[in-house]
Amino acid sequence: MAGVSVSTPSKENSPTYGLSKTGAALTDKAQLNIASSILTQEVIDGLKKADESVQVKPLTLKIDKNTKKQADITALTTLVSNLKTSYADVANETAMLKRTVSAAGSGSVTASVEAGVAEQTVRLSVSQIAQVDSYQSKGFTSRSDTLTGISSDQSLTLSVGDKSVDIKVGPSTTLENIINQINDGAGDVLKASIVNTGGENGYKMILQSKESGEKNQIKFSVKG
């Protein structure tokens, strides 16, 4: 074509020969060297620790906090349950009326109390302890002496508390015979014995209740 000139660049001046490819290769190698120098084990451990601090540790703290809350709730529930039980006892009016009694001293006095009585302190002074009831007969010259003043058969009733026994006596009944009848019939509540006190008429019949107190008094009655 007239008037147009074409200029072909030489190989040495061409920007497409060698320089750009060689430059690209150096860049890739440089990047590999940088990456290898950064991703050491120490760096990985540091990244792992940082990741745990950000993500794992907050979750662990939340779990611990919830566990403590559950323990506190359990303790509060137990306390409330105990309070309800105690309140139920207080709310029950019969519980408020209950009374107990205690006696201090020699042990010779016992006491009982009924619900609802006023609270009080009672002091007792014991001047004499109850004793067994006892009797003695007039004197006889021997154990085989007959009872005097009896002209016909009679029935002698001895009573001690709820126990009673009938003794058959007559003109021929001896002192020893009546003792045996009493012991055979009422020996569990009454003791009959013959004691020689000395002297001409020293043999006497002794009757004693086995238990003390007013309810164990010896009572006599004669029929016939």
Q: Which tens digit of pLDDT belongs to each residue from 183-213?
A: 998 888 889 999 998 888 899 999 999 888 8
Domain count, the chain: 2
- For residue 75, the enclosing domain spans 18-96
CA distance 210 to 145: 27
Query: Do 90 and 136 reside in the same domain of the chain?
Result: no
For residue 111, tell me if it sits in a domain.
Answer: no
Residue 192 · residue 132 · CB < 8 Å: no
Element (H, E) at 91: helix 57-91
Backbone angles phi, psi at 192, to 5 degrees: -115, 135
Query: Do 84 and 140 reside in the same domain of the chain?
Result: no
Query: Do 84 and 137 reside in the same domain of the chain?
Result: no
Residue 121 vs residue 2, higher pLDDT:
121
Nearest alpha carbon to residue 197 among 137, 119, 108: 137
The domain boundary, picked from 47, 80, 96, lies at 96
Q: What is the pLDDT of residues 67-121, one digit of tens each?
A: 888 888 888 888 888 887 777 766 666 666 778 888 777 666 777 887 777 777 8
Query: Do 32 and 85 reside in the same domain of the chain?
Result: yes
For residue 90, tell me if it sits in a domain.
Answer: yes
Query: Do 147 and 82 reside in the same domain of the chain?
Result: no
For residue 126, tell me if it sits in a domain.
Answer: no
CA distance 11 to 20: 14
